[in-house]
Amino acid sequence: MSKIEDILTRYRSGSHESLIPILQDVQVEDGYLSEEAVVRIGAFLGMSTTKIYGLATFYDQFRFAPAGRVHLRVCNGTTCFVNGSAPVIAAMKETLGVEPGQTTRDGRFSYELTACMGGCNEGPVVCVGETFHTHVRAEDIPEMITKLKVLADLK
């Protein structure tokens, strides 16, 4: 919680226009927006937590549960879709057992759907950290996850 207080010192209490920058800072610091953080920010800015939550859920960049130790980004852009990203997403859901934006119970994995990552001619694209997996097929997913488990357990 003290980290939040550090962030808040950089902003003026009650200035509603600081909301998004604060949310971004907190997300960078904590990896997600916790309930406590939202309540604290609300008190700091004099805003209802409902308003903050409503605004934050409008943007894809904010998450409300801690990300997994390995976080995957699956492209949901037009070209990847045409190249078959829908079965890939379905396989991801099936293998991990969670919806996009959620984290697996063991804390290893989370994934999100993103807009175009610029790999249109290599799609469907799945990005893990700095690594881009290209031409991903649904049947590749279980193996990919098994391999990544090792990485997750190292973290």
- Judged by the rule CB under 8 A, the positions of this chain that interact with another protein are 35, 38-39, 42-43, 48-54, 57-60, 64
- Burial of 124 from C-beta contacts in 10 A (0-12 / 13-18 / 19+): buried
**Least spacing, CB of residue 47 vs another protein, in Å:** 8
Do 137 and 92 contact (CB within 8 A), yes or no?
no
**Least spacing, CB of residue 150 vs another protein, in Å:** 34
CA distance 100 to 113: 6
Choice between 34 and 134, CB closer to another protein: 34
Choice between 40 and 73, CB closer to another protein: 40
Q: What number of other Cβ atoms are within 10 A of residue 17's Cβ?
A: 9
**Least spacing, CB of residue 142 vs another protein, in Å:** 28
